[in-house]
Chain A
Amino acid sequence: MAEAQNIPVGSTTAGSIAVAAESTVATRMSAPPSFDVADFPVPHGREEEWRFTPLERLRGLHDGTAVATGEGVKVEVEAPAGVVVETVGRDDARLGRAGTPVDRIAAQAYSAFEKAGVVTVPKETVLTEPIRIAVHGQGGVAYGHQVIELGAFAEAVVVIDHTGDTVLAGNVDYILGDGAKLTVVSVQDWDEKAVHVAQHNALVGRDASFKSIVVTFGGDVVRLHPRVTYAGPGGEAELFGLYFTDAGQHQEHRLLVTHNTPHCKSNVAYKGALQGDEAHAVWIGDVLIQAAAEGTDTYEMNRNLVLTDGARVDSVPNLEIETGEIVGAGHASATGRFDDEQLFYLMARGIPEHEARRLVVRGFFAELVQQIGIADIEERLIARIEEELEASVG
């Protein structure tokens, strides 16, 4: 049911399947979830949830020294008719319903933000155009909170586009009513010095479908924590991710799908390419199937393509099962070097080396790029992949 393979190229891949008593997902966090930053000790770096993260490059987000500057990020929301876009205060009852901060930075963000964004798609409203949220960094420190809520049987696509330079910590709540369908594309196209740490909480209603596509290219440190829980049976979650980690960049994606109700599905697929010295990608894929979640069907997969020496991948899939009454559960992780035999085969057909590399890397990402389904984002993504590859060849 599980498969874990590893070609060591300065990488680690560890996989485990645990049963009830040896819960690792719960016990490896330093403190229980809380909205209050004071409930979390300042991490020192050896904790399970922090051990891959370069704390010294977080610019103080983890220890309380990063103070919001008031001009951290500019947020612009472009929404089709029928969508309600609001900016609300801290006491708004709609905040924090999809999940509770699980680590010190998420709690810091929840304790420090001043205004939150709330985007609501009323029930049975089916949008034909995406909602676009542009988050542009302006050089300062910012804490944010964003809620995206779909009423019952509403359907929407949301693009959250992060650009510019900032030090940002935030929480994003996705709340899906019964039978709702939400696709979110979160693009991290930051300038090279940006630091971005965020927890994404999705609460998937009965028979609702949630699809998340996380695309991470830029930034000095990006650490995202997408999490899914279900509010009723019949829900589906698809979590896709692409990252292209360059020299010196740290890009970390930590996922948790908690199957807490029966007959839900989840499918996780993240793929990354790495190149250059000290490029570091971390992927943690946790799936927890609780005792009540009979009929669960889940699969998680991580693939990494290492293009040059000096890059490092840590990939840790982890599946924890408290009931045997499930449809399926599995995980796979593999990290491989760029394959010289593929290169030889393509070049032996007259294709020059840089073009052959481009074909292979585009091919590697193709199945995930196709999942996006928004032409301008797909084109931009392909263009960014080409840019990254030009840099590596040149």
Chain B
Amino acid sequence: MATLEIRDLHVTVEADNATKEILKGVDLTVKQGETHAIMGPNGSGKSTLAYSLAGHPKYTITQGTVTLDGEDVLEMSVDERARAGLFLAMQYPVEVPGVSVSNFLRTSATAIRGEAPKLRTWVKEVREAMERLNIDPSFAERNVNEGFSGGEKKRHEILQLELLKPKVAILDETDSGLDVDALRIVSEGVNRVRETGEVGTLLITHYTRILRYIKPDHVHVFAAGRIAESGGPELADKLENEGYEAYVKGGASA
């Protein structure tokens, strides 16, 4: 069973000629089949955690370990992490002019699966996945994320999640900027992947709204660069009623 283990993770970023520590000792274990919600106020370091796990060059790991099934993730390049089974659905997916969605998906699936998918079954697989996410077939010929609406970008991320079938999926504020209909479609996509029982999900969000559609097994409150409190789904209800105020104050005085 695939397990992502994060131990005492410290991460810095260079900004304004100064080194700033954003993550200050994160401990978390995500097992295949589990869903963890990470919730926290703006600036608490949630997205830094997501991008650090994916290997974005902007972030420097200064301390701690991250392993996937015992393999050292921090030693891997960005593409190696993806091929090892990590997937990051981005908050702001990047436009890639001149590269069509169909070419991109096939190149990516070929890299992740280690061989080119058979054309006939692949076309069907993509078409069905797109239908489930209410994505128009003409989408395949458009350039990656170019001119996509906010909702289209997020559905395109979840399309990749469904096709690439990672061991651990990190969803970075996938719910932000979505209206209720789009949120429902995106959440259904995430739930289809979860129901296979083969993915561990790390759902990073600012709002409790998405948790009505995607039920987490564990909820963690993120504040000042570390997990301030962990609990079950009931912790989300508490946040819904009380907000992050207690944690922000605690973080400031810490």
Interface residues of A (CB under 8 A from B): 339-342, 344-353, 355-356, 359-360, 362-367
Contacts and interface: CB of A to CB of B under 8 A. Distances in A.
A359 B107 contact: yes
B99 A349 contact: no
Contacts of A345: 90, 93-94, 96, 144
A93 B90 CA distance: 66
A366 B94 contact: no
B79 interface: yes
Nearest to B83: A350
A349 B108 contact: yes
A353 B143 contact: no
A348 B97 contact: no
Contacts of A352: 79, 111
12 contacts: A342-B95, A347-B78, A348-B54, A348-B82, A350-B82, A350-B111, A351-B107, A351-B111, A353-B77, A355-B111, A356-B79, A366-B98
Nearest to A339: B94
B88 A348 contact: yes
B75 to A, nearest CB: 15
Contact of B96 (A350, A355, A363, A367): A363
B99 A355 contact: no
A356 B82 CA distance: 14
Nearest to B145: A345
Determine the main DSSP class of A at the interface with B: helix
B103 interface: yes
B164 interface: yes
Contacts of B164: 349-350
A352 B77 CA distance: 9
Interface string B59-91: 000000000000000000111011100001010
B6 interface: no
Given A352-B111, A359-B107, A347 B77 contact: yes
B143 A363 contact: yes
* Among B55, B81, B82, B98: residue with most chain A CB under 10 A: B98
Given A344-B94, A346-B108, 8 more contacts: A339-B94, A342-B96, A344-B57, A347-B78, A348-B78, A349-B104, A353-B79, A359-B107
Nearest to A358: B107
B56 interface: yes
Contacts of B57: 340, 344
B97 A350 contact: no
Contacts of A355: 107, 111
A366 B99 CA distance: 9
B13 interface: no
B112 interface: yes
Nearest to A365: B98
Contacts of A367: 98
A362 B57 CA distance: 24
Closest 3 pairs (CB-CB, A-B): A363-B98, A350-B111, A350-B82
B160 interface: yes
A351 B99 contact: no
A356 B79 CA distance: 10
A101 B111 CA distance: 54
Contacts of B97: 363-364
Nearest to A368: B98
Interface string B22-60: 000000000000000000000000000000001111000
Interface string B183-215: 000000000000000000000000000000000
Contacts of B103: 359
A335 to B, nearest CB: 15
A363 B77 contact: no
A364 to B, nearest CB: 5
Given A348-B78, A350-B111, A352-B111, A364 B98 contact: yes
B90 A363 contact: no
Contacts of B95: 342
Contacts of A363: 96-99, 143
Contacts of A347: 77-79, 82
Contacts of A351: 79, 107-108, 111
A350 B56 CA distance: 13
Given A347-B78, A349-B82, A352-B79, A342 B94 contact: yes
Contacts of A348: 54-55, 78-79, 81-82, 88, 90
A355 B111 CA distance: 10
A342 B94 CA distance: 6
Contacts of B108: 346, 349-351
A349 B108 CA distance: 6
Interface string B121-145: 0000000000000000000000110
Given A359-B99, A363-B143, A350 B79 contact: yes
A346 B143 CA distance: 13
Interface string B96-119: 111100011001100110000000
* Among B81, B104, B143: residue with most chain A CB under 10 A: B104
* Among B54, B79, B97: residue with most chain A CB under 10 A: B79
A28 B219 CA distance: 69
Contacts of B81: 348
Contacts of B54: 344, 348
Contacts of A342: 94-96
Contacts of B144: 345
